[in-house]
Amino acid sequence: MKRTVRLATLPLNKGKYGELCSVIGHYSDAKRVFVAHLRQTSLWRLLDRSKSFRDYAKAHGLYPTSINVHLIDQAAFDAVDTCIRHIESCFARANIKAKTWRRFTDENERHYAYACLARYSAIGQIMGGGIPEIPTVAIPPDARAKIAAYLHRVIRDALGSSWPTVVKARSMSLDSTLYSVVDNETRTGKTRRYVQVVGPTRNKRISLPLSGISQVSGNIRVVLDEEHKRAFIHVIYDVARLPKATGPAVALDWGITEVCTDEYGVHHGKEYGPALRSMTERRNKTGKARQGKAQTSRSIKERCWL
């Protein structure tokens, strides 16, 4: 299991924030071109392996000039991941796998249909009017054509005219070659950790001071916080597995004023109730304040109209 942690930086000065916005802007421009290009179903064969699309984009001149080529590589990988997540979300909302299971009762036909749904090259071929050949499944050609026609119809309805677009330049994904981590001492003798990310000019990096000391490694994502003129570093950590349960089985009753109560009447997580009450009161107070502002705005508009 893994979890993503957001590490906040200190507020950045105007020059450093501007450089970071410039880099993320170049990254987003490249990703926007890649995502729009991948709308062609004939190119979905490249979604099975992100490096294939990277090579395709380089060969067809989709890479911008005077920009760090490794940064654009990450934009290409990010574009592939974005398109895959969009396709999978459309499939999940339309329950395509469940519909396919109900539609076909023969095990070989189900195997062929699921094998097609597991390969983006096969999905792209189906959307182009083709009939994929799956070497591991032996079924007659007429059965393959029937399944391909059904999948074409349900996939077309699931996707519709939707396709992801890159609207705002707010984040970029970096691998370990595009950033480094250094520790420096402040004037007060404290240790300050910096994440030095790729900059807009050659051989120059942007030092982002973290607000705390945390481990930064592997692939990261830099996200702009436009309101506070800073950035967040998203880092993925491994979650330690829980040890195997020991002792006798105990029945639990989940509650609201506490997390749970066991069969012996012992309450666990008694602080859950007060915390839930505090969050509810805060949300209620915020909602009333927003409603009051909205009513005031409407009354002002009505008076202006009169």
For 124-135, the pLDDT digits (tens) are 999 999 999 998
- CB half-sphere exposure, 39, CA atoms < 13 A: 14
Give 8-65 pLDDT, tens digit per residue: 999 999 999 999 999 999 999 999 999 999 999 999 999 999 999 999 999 999 999 8
Give 114-157 pLDDT, tens digit per residue: 999 999 999 999 999 999 999 888 899 999 999 999 999 999 99
Q: Give the model's pLDDT for residue 75.
A: 96
Show the CA angle centred on residue 83, arms to residues 80 and 85, nearest 5°.
105
Strand partners, 184: 192
Phi and psi based region of residue 195 (left: phi greater than 0; alpha: psi -120 to 50; beta: remaining): beta
Q: What percent of the chain is predicted at pLDDT more than 70?
A: 97
> Is 199 within 8 Å of 224 (Cβ atoms)?
no
pTM score, whole prediction: 0.79
Asked whether the predicted pLDDT for residue 288 surpasses 60, the reply is yes
241 pLDDT tier (thresholds 50, 70, 90): confident
For the segment 76-89, the average pLDDT, to the nearest whole number, is: 96
User: C-alpha 84: how far from its chain's center?
Assistant: 11
303 pLDDT tier (thresholds 50, 70, 90): low
Count of C-beta atoms within a 10 Å radius of residue 121: 17
> Is 163 within 8 Å of 85 (Cβ atoms)?
no
292 pLDDT tier (thresholds 50, 70, 90): confident
Q: Give the model's pLDDT for residue 306.
A: 54
Q: Give the model's pLDDT for residue 264.
A: 87
CA distance 21 to 37: 24
